[in-house]
């Protein structure tokens, strides 16, 4: 399957012949780092290979559209509940620089004792099945060709079916996974004997498949009452999983600690979180670090979350990190919307580009105060471990409620999560192996009659699925109603007749978000805001964020609702579909004709950047086709623009009008047309306006020939001019 950047992902193509699809590669891949790499005008210290296709940061157009890629792997979490929608989100995220795609599982999969098959819809994530994984890996294999960088696919090896999921992941080329039996025990109430016995097998399978393991300690942070007090236990959870993984045969380079800076402003975040990050990296020298952004203190305000995440990422840069994970800034208010997930990726890369080479300039001050803080983290952790031993070991200490206590260890509030070793989901299912126990397969942990040195345990029958993937048994669908084909019926039908709906999560879900400031006290303002949303024909409007500006003066609201309207492509203005002429065609027509144009930013307006880009040869502006451009500056009166046009014999006038206060851009456009008409110039001048809030329709309504808005390139303007002038020439 090959993707074309201007074509939507075709799910039919993804599903075609899936039964025989094999992943291109297995195991985790790191970015290829490049020291002192020249990209555009800059030399970067901490970058990796650049991409073939990507979408740079918004400001990149000022620097020649460069898109440097940082040295850390960047994660995005994906959780729409429908894998077919997830695939589109993965593709968008990859174009924005994500190369670790973490697919969240549907609620409750941890408690399913076995694998599920087919493509059922999930809640808060997808049901992890062979078909969904294979379709995702196949798509990612194509996306990595499109962007030009390997993409790591990740999900969860937890719950009651850990060993089976680990085998599934190894077979299907999943590259990273969470695996931590403590998570099962503490947060899913799965029997602890079952969890740890299963975990050893799962870890062995993951180790042999090169899958990067993330632990589950970040959950203790996310659920703690006061997250900065959970730090001693976080050391312990990391240590238990790390030591257990090593004992199960996992090499250190595949073991990544999932760590989160515990606090957020207004807490003195850097002063608390940085020493913690340092202490952790010292204690776990030799292991990988997956830095997650803070979720514990996320509210509905996406801007606040974003700023916290910038500082989380700064900690990653100041210490040592291998994988920078991102949290979508809207996680505090809804299931992540796809464009917000991508905003999270951008937060990370913008921060990491901003801090490129920071280590050359800054070092953390190694003074007594820092050392004391670092030491205290470690000592509290050691004391915690000692008490586990005193309690009689791990199981006894969990039974006693030593974990997830809200006290700052050794302080204790006696509110920890206590689990009975004899209870929990899957209790009583652990079976003692007889001395002749055997499992004739690779990557099996523990006593095994077939584990003979120098021989593969599966040799006698020609190889297990890990050696011979042709033996993998693929199940397509099991539920005739809950499957991808059924779900695609509506989107396909709508696409065929050319209907478009807005969406935030699933195909055409119709969800939109509007921002309203209402100048009244909060409760009144909220009721009014919801009423206003209904007037906008939003169904089921719901306030997802409210920020008080002043108790009496008003509040600002973000309201989500469903806009149950589909737009027909055929009803859209034709010129929107029009492609610009090819560069060569424009240039060969323009150059011999010596066409002059006059350009200026008009009115009381000092913005020049946008117009210069449309004109300047070095930005790919219209000069490169041979237009003679006479740029006369900013804040130019309209009269002056027309005078220059007259004296230079220009055939077109380009005005830029950015300022929009009191509709001044509209006035400028109307006045330009009127003035040109008054002076008898209108018929021989093409009048064009450009600006961030200018649209083609708007400019035409004002009497101009065309309007160009955000995202316009010189080629678009040149193409329009050529077509217009060519038409006039042939008349």
Contact with other proteins (CB under 8 A): which of 385, 499, 549, 675?
385
- Interface with other proteins includes 369 (CB under 8 A)? no
| Of 396 and 549, CB closest to other proteins | 396
Of the candidate spans 445-453, 497-505, 582-590, 680-688, the one that interacts with other proteins by CB under 8 A turns out to be 445-453
| Site for other proteins contains 424 (CB under 8 A) | no
Quick one: residue 539, left, alpha or beta (phi over 0 = left, psi -120 to 50 = alpha)? beta
Nearer to other proteins, 112 or 300 (CB): 112
Q: What is the torsional sign of CA 335, 339, 341, 343?
A: negative
568 contacts other proteins (rule: CB under 8 A): no
Cβ(162)–Cβ(204) under 8 Å? no
- Under the binding rule (CB under 8 A), the answer on residue 231 touching other proteins is no
Tell me how far, at minimum, the Cβ of 381 lies from other proteins, in Å: 7
- Report the DSSP beta bridge partners of residue 250: none
| By the rule CB under 8 A, 262 interacts with other proteins | no
**Quick one: which segment of 194-202, 352-360, 529-537, 606-614 binds other proteins (CB under 8 A)?**
194-202
The yes or no reply on residue 310 touching other proteins (CB under 8 A) is no
C-alpha distances in Å from residue 647, one per residue of 172, 438, 599, 611: 70, 95, 14, 21
Q: Is residue 286 at the binding interface for other proteins, with CB under 8 A as the rule?
A: no
CA distance 11 to 18: 11
Q: Does 196 bind other proteins (CB under 8 A)?
A: yes
Find the shortest distance in angstroms from Cβ 398 to other proteins.
Answer: 11
> In the complex, what is the shortest distance from the CB of residue 179 to other proteins, in angstroms, rounded to a whole number?
13
Strand order in the sheet with 511-518: 511-518, 554-562, 539-550
Place of tokens 């609201």: 557
Q: Is 408 a residue that touches other proteins (CB under 8 A)?
A: yes
Cα separation values, 352 from 240, 349, 355, 656, Å = 31, 5, 5, 34
Q: How far is the CB of 433 from other proteins (least distance, A)?
A: 6
Does residue 570 belong to the site contacting other proteins (CB under 8 A)? no
Q: Can you say whether residue 242 is alpha, beta or left, with left for phi > 0 and alpha for psi between -120 and 50 degrees?
A: alpha
- Using the contact rule CB under 8 A, the part of the chain among 59-67, 219-227, 232-240, 586-594 near other proteins is 232-240
When the beta carbons of 166 and 581 are compared against other proteins, the nearer one is 166
Among 35, 282, 299, 585, binds other proteins (CB under 8 A): 282
> How far apart, in Å, are the Cα atoms of 426 and each of 114, 202, 393, 403, 678?
12, 16, 21, 21, 87
Interacting stretch for other proteins, rule CB under 8 A, among 216-224, 435-443, 542-550, 666-674? 435-443
Which is closer to other proteins, CB of 383 or CB of 569?
Answer: 383
Nearer to other proteins, 448 or 635 (CB): 448
**168: its two tokens:** 């599934």
Quick one: CA dihedral 81, 87, 91, 94, positive or negative? Answer: positive
d(CA 354, CA 349): 8
Does residue 214 bind other proteins (CB under 8 A)? no
Among 4, 363, 414, 662, binds other proteins (CB under 8 A): 414
Tally of CB atoms within 10 A around 578: 12
26 binds other proteins (CB under 8 A): no
Closest distance between other proteins and the C-beta of residue 18, in Å?
Answer: 15
Is residue 126 at the binding interface for other proteins, with CB under 8 A as the rule? no
What the block records as the tokens of 324 is 């920078």
Cα angle 417, 421, 427; round to 5: 115
What character string, x for contact with other proteins (CB under 8 A) and - otherwise, covers 40-79?
Answer: ----------------------------------------
Per CB under 8 A, the list member of 436, 496, 571, 731 interacting with other proteins is 436
Q: Kindly give the pairing relationship between strand 652-656 and strand 596-601.
A: parallel
- What CA dihedral angle connects 500, 505, 507 and 513, to 10 degrees? -20
User: Cα Rg for the chain, rounded, in angstroms?
Assistant: 30
Please report, as residue ranges, which positions from 446 to 485 form the binding site for other proteins (by CB under 8 A): 446-450, 458, 460-461, 464-466, 471-475
SS3 call for 52? coil
Which of 4, 361, 363, 431: binder of other proteins (CB under 8 A)?
431
Stretch that binds other proteins, among 1-9, 87-95, 197-205, 638-646 (CB under 8 A): 197-205
Q: Is 383 in the site for other proteins (CB under 8 A)?
A: yes
User: How far is it, in rounded angstroms, from Cα 725 to Cα 731?
Assistant: 10
Using the rule CB under 8 A, is 402 a contact of other proteins?
A: yes
In this structure, what are the phi and psi dihedrals at residue 690, rounded to the nearest 5 degrees?
-135, 155
Query: Which range in 231-239, 498-506, 645-653, 688-696 contacts other proteins by CB under 8 A?
Result: 231-239
Least distance in Å: CB of 243 to other proteins?
A: 4
Phi/psi for 552 (5° steps) reads -105, -30
Backbone torsions φ then ψ of 558, nearest 5 degrees: -110, 130
Show Cβ contacts of residue 411 under 8 Å, excluding neighbours closer than 6 positions: 229
Give dist(CA 450, CA 433) in Å, integer. 14
Q: Computed from CA positions of residues 229, 233, 235, 241, in that sequence, does the dihedral angle turn out positive or negative?
A: negative
**83 or 196, CB closer to other proteins?**
196
Give me 183's structure tokens. Answer: 């998570």
- Cβ closest to other proteins, residue 184 vs residue 668: 184
CB 5 → other proteins: shortest distance, Å?
37
- Contact with other proteins (CB under 8 A) among 3, 57, 101, 160: 160
User: Which of positions 89-108 make contact with other proteins (CB under 8 A)?
Assistant: none
Regarding 228 and contact with other proteins (CB under 8 A), the answer is: no
Which window, 300-308, 384-392, 573-581, 606-614, contacts other proteins (CB under 8 A)?
384-392
Contacts of 392 (CB under 8 A, 6+ apart): none
**Cα torsion 19, 20, 21, 27: sign:** positive
CB of 257 to other proteins, least distance (A): 13
Query: How many other CB atoms are found less than 10 A from the CB of residue 455?
Result: 10
Assess 379 for contact with other proteins (CB under 8 A): yes
Min separation Cβ 276 and other proteins, Å: 15
CB of 362 vs other proteins, minimal distance in Å = 23
Tokens describing residue 624: 């490169």
Whole-angstrom CA distances from 363 to 313, 360, 545 are 16, 8, 39
Query: Which one of 398-406, 498-506, 623-631, 687-695 is the stretch in contact with other proteins (CB under 8 A)?
Result: 398-406
Whole-angstrom CA distances from 321 to 218, 381, 640 are: 15, 21, 58
Q: Cα-Cα-Cα-Cα dihedral of 667, 670, 672, 673, to 10°?
A: 180
Give yes or no for residue 247 binding other proteins (CB under 8 A). yes
Question: By CB under 8 A, which span of 63-71, 234-242, 502-510, 608-616 interacts with other proteins?
Answer: 234-242
* Cβ contact 407:161 at 8 Å: no
> Which residue has 């509110």 as its token pair?
415
Q: Which stretch binds other proteins (CB under 8 A): 6-14, 137-145, 244-252, 548-556?
A: 244-252
Q: HSE of 719 in the Cβ direction (CA atoms, 13 Å)?
A: 14
Smallest distance from other proteins to CB 299, Å: 29
- Rule CB under 8 A: is residue 597 a binding residue for other proteins? no
Site for other proteins contains 604 (CB under 8 A): no
Contact call for residue 115 and other proteins (CB under 8 A):
yes
Task: Give min distance, CB of 536 to other proteins, in A.
Answer: 48
Asked if 242 interacts with other proteins (CB under 8 A), we say yes
């Amino acid at each position: 399957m090959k993707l074309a950047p201007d074509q939507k992902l075709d799910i039919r193509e993804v599903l075609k012949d899936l039964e025989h699809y094999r992943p291109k590669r297995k195991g985790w891949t790191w970015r290829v780092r490049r020291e002192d790499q020249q990209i555009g005008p800059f030399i970067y210290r901490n970058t990796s290979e650049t991409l073939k296709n990507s979408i740079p940061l918004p400001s990149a157009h000022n620097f020649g559209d460069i898109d440097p890629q940082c040295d850390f792997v960047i994660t995005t979490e994906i959780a729409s509940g429908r894998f077919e929608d997830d695939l589109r989100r993965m593709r968008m995220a990859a174009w924005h620089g994500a190369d670790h795609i973490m697919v969240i599982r549907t609620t409750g999969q941890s408690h399913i004792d076995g694998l599920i098959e087919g493509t059922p819809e999930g809640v808060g994530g997808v049901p992890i099945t062979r078909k969904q994984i294979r379709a995702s890996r196949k798509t990612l294999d194509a996306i990595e060709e499109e962007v030009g960088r390997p993409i790591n696919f990740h999900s969860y090896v937890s719950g009651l079916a850990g060993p089976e999921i680990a085998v599934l992941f190894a077979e299907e080329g999943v590259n990273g996974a969470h695996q931590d039996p403590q998570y099962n025990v503490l947060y899913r109430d799965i029997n602890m004997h079952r969890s740890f016995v299963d975990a050893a097998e799962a870890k062995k399978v993951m180790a042999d498949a090169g899958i990067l393991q993330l632990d589950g300690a970040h959950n203790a942070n996310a659920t703690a009452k006061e997250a900065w007090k959970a730090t001693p236990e976080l050391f312990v959870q990391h240590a238990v999983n790390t030591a257990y993984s090593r004992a199960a045969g996992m090499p250190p380079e595949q073991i990544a600690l999932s760590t989160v800076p515990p606090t957020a402003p207004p807490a003195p975040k850097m002063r608390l979180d940085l020493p913690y990050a340092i202490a952790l990296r010292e204690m776990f020298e030799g292991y990988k670090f997956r830095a997650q952004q803070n979720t514990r203190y996320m509210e509905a305000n996406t801007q606040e979350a974003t700023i916290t995440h910038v500082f989380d990422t700064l900690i990653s840069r100041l210490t040592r990190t291998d994988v920078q994970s991102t949290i979508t800034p809207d996680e505090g208010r809804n299931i992540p919307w796809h464009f917000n997930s991508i905003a999270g990726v951008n937060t990370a890369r913008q921060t990491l580009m901003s801090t490129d080479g920071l280590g050359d300039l800054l070092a953390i001050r190694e003074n007594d105060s820092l050392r004391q803080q670092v030491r205290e983290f470690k000592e509290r952790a050691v004391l915690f471990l000692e008490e586990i031993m005193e309690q009689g070991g791990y199981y006894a200490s969990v039974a006693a409620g030593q974990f997830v206590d809200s006290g700052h260890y050794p302080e204790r509030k006696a509110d920890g999560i206590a689990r009975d070793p004899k209870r929990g989901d899957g209790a009583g299912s652990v079976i003692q192996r007889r001395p002749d126990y055997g499992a004739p397969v690779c990557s099996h942990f523990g006593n095994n009659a077939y584990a003979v040195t120098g021989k593969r345990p599966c040799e006698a029958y020609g190889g297990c699925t890990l050696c011979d993937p042709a033996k993998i048994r693929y199940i397509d669908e099991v539920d005739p109603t809950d499957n991808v084909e059924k779900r695609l019926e509506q989107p396909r039908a709508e696409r065929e007749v050319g209907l478009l709906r807005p969406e935030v999560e699933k195909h055409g879900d119709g969800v939109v978000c509007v921002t309203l400031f209402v100048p009244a006290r909060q409760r009144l303002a909220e009721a009014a805001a919801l009423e206003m949303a209904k007037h906008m024909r939003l169904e089921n409007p719901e306030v997802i964020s409210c920020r008080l500006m002043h108790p009496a003066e008003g509040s600002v609201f973000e309201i989500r609702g469903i806009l149950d309207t589909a737009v027909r492509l055929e009803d859209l203005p034709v010129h929107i579909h029009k492609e610009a002429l090819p560069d060569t065609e424009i240039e060969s027509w323009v150059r011999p004709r010596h066409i002059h144009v006059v350009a200026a930013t008009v009115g009381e307006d000092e913005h020049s950047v946008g117009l210069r880009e449309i004109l300047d040869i070095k930005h790919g502006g219209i000069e490169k086709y041979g237009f003679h451009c006479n740029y006369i500056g900013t804040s130019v009166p309209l009269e002056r623009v027309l005078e220059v046009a007259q004296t230079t014999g220009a055939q077109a006038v380009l005005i830029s009008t950015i300022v929009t206060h009191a509709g001044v851009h509209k006035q400028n456009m109307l006045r330009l047309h009127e003035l040109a008409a008054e002076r008898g110039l209108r018929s021989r001048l093409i009048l064009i306006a450009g600006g961030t809030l200018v649209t083609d329709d708007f400019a035409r309504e004002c009497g101009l020939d065309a309007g160009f808005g955000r995202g316009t390139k010189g080629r678009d303007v040149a193409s329009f001019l050529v077509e217009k002038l060519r038409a006039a020439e042939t008349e």
